[in-house]
């Protein structure tokens, strides 16, 4: 992996839309040793070709889809190319998403395409009627 390391925790490299606050928050979570959870975002971007009504149905069971993250290196075991929410295991909501592309971990801030407002796990993720999926701003930690 040809990357730089921020705070010696998770390898990564800053991107054009880097949000230092999001990266620092995740670094703090990881440094504290607390258990984190990753939950796949059930969207057409992550699962193209899946009917929106199936994604909406599965989304009701998000709680059972939590993938435990015990240590920073666990992030590299996430499924390639699938964006998911990242949060402390005891938290209910987050505005941080995470994914692995080409063996690199990216920490993401999610914004709604229509409004430009930050989105959260408990907020609306995509509009089933239009099939429009929210944009993500990427920053690696």
pLDDT by position in tens, the chain (length 141): 333 333 444 555 444 445 678 888 998 999 999 999 999 998 888 899 999 999 999 988 888 899 999 999 999 999 999 999 999 999 999 999 999 998 888 888 887 777 888 888 888 544 444 445 444 444 444
Distance CA 29, CA 128 (A): 33
Residues 6+ apart with CB under 8 A from 77: none
- Find residue 95's DSSP bridge partners: none
Domain of residue 90: give its range.
Answer: 4-139
Domains contained in the chain, number: 1
Q: Is 64 exposed, middle or buried (0-12, 13-18, 19+ CB in 10 A)?
A: exposed
pLDDT at position 54: 93
pLDDT at position 4: 32
Least Cα distance to 22 among 118, 128, 100 occurs for 118
């Amino acid at each position: 992996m040809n990357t730089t390391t921020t705070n010696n925790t998770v390898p990564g490299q800053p991107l054009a839309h880097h949000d230092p606050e999001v990266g620092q928050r995740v670094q703090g979570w990881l440094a504290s040793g607390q258990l984190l959870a990753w939950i796949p975002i059930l969207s057409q971007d992550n699962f193209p070709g899946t009917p929106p009504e199936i994604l909406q149905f599965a989304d009701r069971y998000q709680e059972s889809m939590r993938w435990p993250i015990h240590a920073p290196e666990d992030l590299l075991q996430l499924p390639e190319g699938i964006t998911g929410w990242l949060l402390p295991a005891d938290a209910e909501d987050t505005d941080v998403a995470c994914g692995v592309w080409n063996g690199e971990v990216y920490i993401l801030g999610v914004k709604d395409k229509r409004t430009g407002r930050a989105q959260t796990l408990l907020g609306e993720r995509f509009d089933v009627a239009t099939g429009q999926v929210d944009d993500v701003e990427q920053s690696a930690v």
